[in-house]
């Protein structure tokens, strides 16, 4: 079932709601949309989970405003969804940029409505290198990515997609996956890349009190594995689950292991 929820600034967010039982709120990564979770939401409802997948503003079927693509605003959008649906004892699952937004939500809104946090290849605590943080992409590399989005978005996203998976995916799957990114608003895609470049979540990590699982591919070429180690150090009591044969797209690289690990994290 799909429907819209109104957030701040009158922005309408599209939500796909599948199954019944314990609520699991999924946040997609950049530059994708809720459809990236296809291979999870076809399984979890069998085990008593309600899968709530939101399209972030500017992505998928949600409204496409010119502004509002910082983590604070997008975390507030997630709060609007949680409040509109009256979610309690829910699980929050965020992938890549969605993981970063999930961290900001837990910090900014004190984990409102959530009893568990699962970070999958999260673009955190900082996607880019800082003077005192030698991990992640260089700012120059992200600037080059942004320049590519202005000049030739399809080619830039295709090149970025080539970094995603460590396994040999089929051409038909790659075409489907690339189409998810191309369906997003051009402005949102650029602004999302700027947020990835500029946001720093290190101060947010100690504020997370909810049990947290960190899923991360050891072979990740987008958010290198040291980012997972930094999140694990920064989030007290967190559980780090390495995926030895996964790249950034661990949700498909090791699909069966990912789904089993997700079920374990949701239940514990």
Domain limits, the chain: 2-267
Q: What is the pLDDT of residue 196?
A: 98
User: Percentage helix, strand, coil, to 5, in the chain?
Assistant: 45, 20, 35
Alpha carbon distances (Å) from 49 to 82, 143, 166, 229, 246: 16, 40, 29, 29, 25
φ, ψ dihedrals at 252, nearest 5°: -125, -35
CA angle, residues 153, 155, 157, in degrees to nearest 5: 65
**pLDDT tops 90 at residue 41:** yes
Quick check: is 138 catalytic?
A: no
Model pLDDT for residues 151-178, shown as the tens digit of each residue = 999 999 999 999 999 999 999 999 999 9
Q: What is the pLDDT of residue 116?
A: 98
Rounded to whole angstroms, the maximal C-alpha distance in the chain is 47
**pLDDT tops 80 at residue 40:** yes
Q: How far apart are CA 206 and CA 65, in angstroms?
A: 32
What is the chain's mean pLDDT, rounded? 97
Correct CATH for 2-267 of 3.30.360.10, 3.30.200.20, 3.40.50.300, 3.40.50.1820: 3.40.50.1820
Q: How far apart are CA 53 and CA 50, in angstroms?
A: 10
Model pLDDT for residues 176-203, shown as the tens digit of each residue = 999 999 999 999 999 999 999 999 999 9
**pLDDT tops 90 at residue 9:** no
Catalytic residue among 28, 62, 76, 96: 96
**pLDDT tops 80 at residue 27:** yes
Catalytic residue among 28, 34, 216, 248: 248
Quick check: is 96 catalytic?
A: yes
Whole-model pTM? 0.97
Catalytic residue among 220, 238, 246, 253: 220
Residue 268 — very low, low, confident or very high, per pLDDT cuts 50/70/90?
Answer: confident
Structure token pair of residue 154: 């399809």
- Express as a percent the part of the chain with pLDDT over 90: 99
Q: How far apart are CA 8 and CA 73, in angstroms?
A: 8
**pLDDT tops 80 at residue 219:** yes
**pLDDT tops 80 at residue 3:** yes
Stretch 225-229: mean pLDDT, rounded?
98
Stretch 118-127: mean pLDDT, rounded?
98
Q: What is the pLDDT of residue 52?
A: 98
| Residue 144 C-alpha from the chain's centroid | 22
């Amino acid at each position: 079932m799909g429907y819209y929820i109104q957030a701040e600034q009158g922005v309408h967010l599209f939500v796909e709601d599948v199954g019944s039982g314990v609520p699991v709120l999924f946040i997609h990564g950049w530059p994708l949309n809720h459809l990236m979770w296809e291979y999870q939401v076809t399984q979890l409802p069998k085990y008593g989970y309600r899968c709530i997948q939101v399209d972030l503003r500017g992505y998928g079927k949600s409204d496409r405003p010119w502004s509002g693509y910082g983590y604070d605003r997008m975390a507030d959008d997630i709060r609007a969804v949680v409040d509109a649906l009256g979610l309690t004892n829910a699980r929050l699952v965020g992938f890549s940029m969605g993981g970063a937004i999930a961290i900001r939500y837990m910090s900014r809104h004190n984990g409102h409505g959530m009893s568990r946090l699962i970070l999958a290849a999260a673009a955190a605590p900082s996607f880019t290198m800082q003077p005192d943080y030698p991990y992640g992409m260089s700012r120059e590399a992200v600037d080059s990515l942004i320049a590519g989005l202005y000049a030739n978005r399809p080619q830039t996203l295709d090149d970025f997609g080539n970094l995603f998976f460590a396994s040999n995916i089929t051409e038909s799957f790659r075409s489907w996956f690339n189409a998810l990114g191309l369906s997003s608003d051009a402005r949102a895609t650029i602004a999302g890349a700027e947020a990835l470049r500029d946001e720093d979540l290190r101060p947010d990590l100690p504020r997370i009190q909810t049990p947290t699982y960190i899923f991360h591919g050891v072979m990740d070429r987008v958010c290198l594995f040291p980012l997972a180690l930094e999140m694990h150090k920064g989030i007290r009591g967190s559980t780090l689950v390495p995926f030895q044969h996964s790249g950034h797209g661990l949700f498909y690289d090791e699909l069966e292991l990912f789904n089993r690990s997700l079920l374990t994290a949701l239940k514990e």
